[in-house]
Amino acid sequence: MGGYPSELTAAAAFDAKRAILSKRDMFRPLAVQRTEGLADALRGKKVRGETPVLVLEREGAALALLTSEMIFHHVAQGEWNGTPFLATF
């Protein structure tokens, strides 16, 4: 069976007993306060062309998060085009 599992299949396979829960976060989430167009960031030399990024897509718009930041934080959250988002790595 090829392709991605359906939501129902993924939910049925999830085992909550495997979750490691604690009263405090193991990693401080990356709070995304503002975003900048990738072309502008490249032009301003804030990011290099070969910099690895994690790309999120929603309704035809893309948001790139620096992989180096996601390796440290593991979670990014904020508002993107007026809608809350949460990304994990």
Tell me the DSSP string of 34-77: ----HHHHHHTTSS-TT--EEEEEETTEEEEEEHHHHHHHSEEE
- Interstrand relation of 83-88 and 75-80 (parallel, antiparallel or unpaired): antiparallel
The model's pTM is 0.66
For the chain, how big is the Rg over CA atoms in Å?
A: 16
Cβ proximity of 69 and 30 under 8 Å: yes
Instruction: Answer whether residue 87 shows pLDDT above 60.
Output: yes
First to last CA, the chain: 26
Q: Which two tokens stand for residue 5?
A: 């599992």
pLDDT at 12: 67
Q: How confident is the model at residue 70 (pLDDT cuts 50, 70, 90)?
A: very high
For residues 16-33, give the mean pLDDT. 82
